[in-house]
Amino acid sequence: MMLKEVLPHPPVLVSGMEDWFSWRNSATSTPGFFSASRTWTSLQPSGTVVPWVKSVWFSNSIPKHSFIHWVVMRDRLPTRDRLRGWGLNVPPVCLLCQSAPESRAHLFFGCPFSNQVWSSFFYHPSLHPPRCLDDIVGWVTNASPLLKLKVVCKMLLQASIYFVWKERNARLHTAVTKTPAQIIRDVHSILRSRLAGLDRSNTRSDLLAAQPNNTLCSTYLSVWFGFIHFGNSPAP
Pick from 54-63, 84-93, 210-219: least confident: 210-219
Category of 231 on φ-ψ map: left (φ > 0), alpha (ψ -120 to 50) or beta: left
How far does CA 159 lie from the centroid of its chain? 9
**C-beta of residue 144 within 8 angstroms of C-beta of residue 226:** no
pLDDT tens, residue by residue, 67-104:
999 999 999 999 999 999 999 999 999 999 999 999 99
Spatial CB neighbours of 88, under 8 Å, sequence gap ≥ 6: none
Q: Do the Cβ atoms of 196 and 221 come closer than 8 Å?
A: yes
Band the pLDDT of 235: cuts 50, 70, 90: very low
- Rounded to the nearest integer, the mean pLDDT of the chain is 86
Quote the pLDDT of residue 35. 79
Band the pLDDT of 176: cuts 50, 70, 90.
Answer: very high
- Determine if the peptide bond prior to 109 is cis (ω within 30°): yes
Handedness of CA 83, 89, 94, 95 (dihedral sign): negative
> Which segment of 106-115, 187-196, 216-225 scores lowest on mean pLDDT?
216-225
pLDDT at residue 65, rounded to an integer = 98
Alpha helices (H) along the chain = 2-6, 36-43, 53-56, 63-73, 80-85, 104-105, 112-119, 133-139, 147-173, 180-201, 204-210, 220-223
pTM of the shown model: 0.79
Predicted confidence (pLDDT) at residue 158 exceeds the cutoff of 60: yes
In 189-206, which positions are buried (b, 16+ CB within 10 angstroms) versus exposed (e)? ebbbebbeebbeeeeeee
Region 145-150 average pLDDT = 94
Percent share of the chain, pLDDT over 90 = 67
Please provide residue 93's backbone torsions phi and psi, each rounded to the nearest 5 degrees.
Answer: -70, 145
pLDDT at 207: 47
Mean pLDDT score, 133-157: 96
Compute the distance between CA of residue 123 and CA of residue 229 in angstroms, rounded to an integer: 9
Name the residue ranges covered by the structural domains of the chain.
Answer: 1-44, 53-228
**What would the mean pLDDT of 116-132 be, rounded to a whole number?**
94
